[in-house]
Amino acid sequence: MAEQAPAASGSPASTTDDGLTAMARTVLTLVNEARKPLGLRLLVPSPKLMQAAAEHANDMVRRGYFHFQGQNGGEDLEARVKRLGFSGRTAVALGRGTEDAEETTRHWLADSTTRPSLLEKDYRELGVGAFAGHWVLLVGQPDLVIDDKLRTRVRQLVNDERLSCRVPPLEEHPLLNHQAQVHCLDMAARSFFATINPDGKDENQRSITAGYEGKVRMLLSEIEDVDETVATWLKSAALRAAIIDSAMCAFGVGMFNGKWALLLGAMSEVKPKVDSELESDLVAAFNAQRSAAQLPPFRVVPTLKQAADGHTADMASKGFLAYDHPEARGIQGWLKEAGYKGRTFPAVTKGPTNAEAVLKIFLGSAGHKQQLLNGELRELGISVQKGYWTVILAAPQIEAGSAVREDFMKQLNSQRAAASSPAVELSLLLNAVAQLFAEDMVKRDFFAFSNPDGQTPDALVRKEGFAGSLAVALAKGVSSPEGALSAWLKNPQNQKNLLDAKFTRLGLGVAEGRWVLILGSP
In sequence order, the β-bridge partners of residue 254 are 261
Residue 268 pLDDT class (50, 70, 90 cuts): low
**Secondary structure (DSSP) of 140-188:** EEEPPB--HHHHHHHHHHHHHHHHHTT-PPPEE-HHHHHHHHHHHHHHH
Q: Is the dihedral of CA 28, 30, 36, 40 positive or negative?
A: negative
Q: Let me know: does 478 contact 484? Beta carbons within 8 Å.
A: yes
Pick the closest to residue 172 from 184, 160, 156, 187 (CA basis): 156
- Tell me the C-alpha distance between 86 and 272, whole Å: 42
Residues 6+ apart with CB under 8 A from 373: 289, 290, 293, 295
Determine the length of the chain: 522
Is the pLDDT at 226 greater than 50, yes or no?
yes
pLDDT above 90: residue 25:
yes
| Among 515, 449, 446, 440, CA closest to 484 | 515
Residue 244 neighbours by CB under 8 Å, 6+ apart: 161, 162, 165, 167
Which pLDDT score, from 0 to 100, does residue 375 have? 81
Measured distance CA(220)–CA(259) in Å, rounded: 7
Using only C-alpha atoms, the chain has a radius of gyration, in whole angstroms, of 33
Average pLDDT over the chain, rounded to an integer: 89
Q: What is the pLDDT of residue 373?
A: 92
Which pLDDT tens digit goes with each residue over 125-150? Answer: 999 999 999 999 999 988 888 888 99
pLDDT score, position 404 = 85
Query: Is pLDDT of 124 > 50?
Result: yes
List beta partners, residue 342. Answer: 396
Higher pLDDT, 517 or 479: 517
Confidence of residue 402 (pLDDT cuts 50, 70, 90): confident
pLDDT of 6 reads: 38
Alpha helices, H only, 268-353: 275-292, 302-318, 330-338
Rounded-to-integer distance, Cα 471 and Cα 506, Å:
10
Confidence category of residue 114, pLDDT binned at 50, 70, 90: very high
3-state secondary structure of 505: strand
Distances (CA, A) of 321 to 148, 356, 390: 17, 20, 10
SS3 content of the chain, % helix, strand, coil (to 5): 45, 20, 35
On whether the CB atoms of residues 97 and 133 are closer than 8 A, the answer is yes
pLDDT at 144: 81
The predicted-structure confidence for 31-61, as pLDDT tens digits, reads as follows: 999 999 999 989 999 999 999 999 999 999 9
Q: How far apart are CA 202 and CA 182, in angstroms?
A: 13
Q: How confident is the model at residue 11 (pLDDT cuts 50, 70, 90)?
A: very low
Residue 414: per-residue pLDDT = 93
Report pLDDT for 237.
95
Arithmetic mean of pLDDT, 288-312: 92
Asked if the model's pLDDT at residue 68 lies above 90, the reply is yes
The stretch 347-358 carries a mean pLDDT of 88
Is a pLDDT exceeding 60 seen at residue 5? Answer: no
| Side chain identity at residue 299, one-letter code | R
Half-sphere exposure of 241 (CA within 13 A, CB side): 3
Closest listed residue to residue 387, CA positions, set 272, 306, 255: 272
Query: In 3-state terms, what secondary structure has residue 427?
Result: coil
pLDDT reported for residue 19: 65
Spacing of C-alpha 108 from chain mean position: 41
**In angstroms, rounded to a whole number, what is the distance separating the alpha carbons of residues 434 and 413?**
19
d(CA 239, CA 217): 10
Q: Is 278 helix (H, G, I), strand (E, B) or coil?
A: helix
Output DSSP code: residue 339.
T
| pLDDT of 193 | 95
Sign of the alpha-carbon torsion through 456, 457, 460, 461: negative
Q: What local confidence, expressed as pLDDT, does residue 229 receive?
A: 95
pLDDT confidence band for 348 (50 / 70 / 90): very high
Give strand pairing partners of 126.
45, 139
Predicted confidence at residue 258, as pLDDT, reads 86
Bridge partners (DSSP) of residue 251 are 172, 264
**Averaged pLDDT for residues 331-355:** 88
Mean pLDDT for 12-18 is 50
- Mean pLDDT for 254-273 is 83
Amino acid 75: pLDDT: 93
Better-scored residue on pLDDT, 272 or 256:
256
CA separation for the pair 432, 441 (Å, rounded): 14
Tell me which of 50-54, 194-198, 444-448 is least confident.
444-448
Dist CA 459 CA 160 (whole Å): 83
How far is the C-alpha of 38 from the C-alpha of 238, rounded, in Å?
Answer: 36
**Adjacent-strand bridge partners of 135:** 95, 130
Please state, for a pLDDT cut of 70, what percent of the chain lies above it.
95
Residue range 312-331: average pLDDT? 92
